[in-house]
Amino acid sequence: DVDKRQPTHYYDPTDPDARRLLWDAVREGYHRHGVRVFWLDADEPDLAPPLQERAQYAAGDGRRVGNLYPREHARAFHEGLTAEGEQEILTLNRSAWAGSQRYGAALWSGDIPATFDSLRTQIRAGLNVALSGIPWWTTDIGGFHGGDPADPAYQELMVRWFQYGVHCPLFRLHGDRDPNEPFGVTMTGGPNEPWSYGPAYPLIREQLLLRERLRPYVQEQMDIAHRTGTPPMRPLFYDAPDDPAAWEVEDQFLLGPDLLVAPVAGPGVRERQVYLPAGSRWQDAHDGTWHEGGGTVRAAAPLERIPLYVRAGRTLPIRPADG
């Protein structure tokens, strides 16, 4: 109803007084009732570029400082929680900027399409985020917009996305599934629990169990990131800077220094080429075969798994029997 529209106002998080005012409201409405972790969806102003450029902040004009908005918004919560005596502070953020990590910001890639093209984009995006200094990365597994849990094609995408998500720093399922409902306060998407995907559920369940087996290793990488800033998920060249070929690979990554992950990001794909960085031997985590680094192998990728390789000298519980 046009007659009931109201103007929207954004607060200025670059102003310390504005950050305190926001936190005062959050403290009274949430923190005092036991809420300790916050999901900061839409933590950036929804402004068209011309309006953003004309905006005026305490820190300066919008053209110069507008991108600071999500970082300073996360700062408002970090400062507030710190003042309340909280010591382990984490917020889930839809947007971030350079330095957001210092305020406990975990970043996800927002409302992305539920397609294989989108999955391929997430692989590259996560690696670039890691290199930007933000170690805590995640996506909406399966994409956000759409996806029919009863559609076999979408079930395949969901399995492949779970296989990618298991090896991200943060592992989470989220999305607005079909059948969609009209926008409103009572709307809800279709079923989106792991068991909502019919014959794909046993394969999804195996990924959940794999993440549990990898929990100590992931926690080890999280602690390293906390102490040194080294991202848990990173491109191959991060650990093999002297290997020119490692700089060319955009669709594989390392989780920590010792687990190489080669996601499958296309429908019907059941094998793929995998490059193994030079300077180490690598063991196929599924069949136990060894390969010298510095070359490419053709790896099997049946629907139930993606290629995974473990660096020589490390043992990881990839298969149930390894745990």
State how far the Cα of 139 lies from the Cα of 135, in Å rounded to an integer.
13
State how far the Cα of 95 lies from the Cα of 109, in Å rounded to an integer.
8
The number of angstroms, rounded, from the C-alpha of 161 to the middle of its chain's C-alpha atoms is 11
User: What torsion do the CA atoms of 48, 51, 53, 57 make, to the nearest 10 degrees?
Assistant: -120
Q: Which of 86, 111, 151, 220 is catalytic?
A: 111
Q: Which of 41, 223, 250, 292 is catalytic?
A: 41
Residue 111 annotated among the catalytic residues of the structure = yes
Strands of the sheet containing 105-108, edge to edge, are 38-40, 91-93, 105-108, 137-138
Transcribe 200-242 into DSSP letters: GHHHHHHHHHHHHHHHHHHHHHHHHHHHH---SEE-HHHH-TT
How wide is the angle at C-alpha 172 spanned by C-alphas 221 and 113, nearest 5°? Answer: 120
Residue 44 annotated among the catalytic residues of the structure = yes
Q: Which of 43, 44, 156, 176 is catalytic?
A: 44
Residue 41 annotated among the catalytic residues of the structure = yes
User: Which residues are the active-site residues?
Assistant: 41, 44, 111
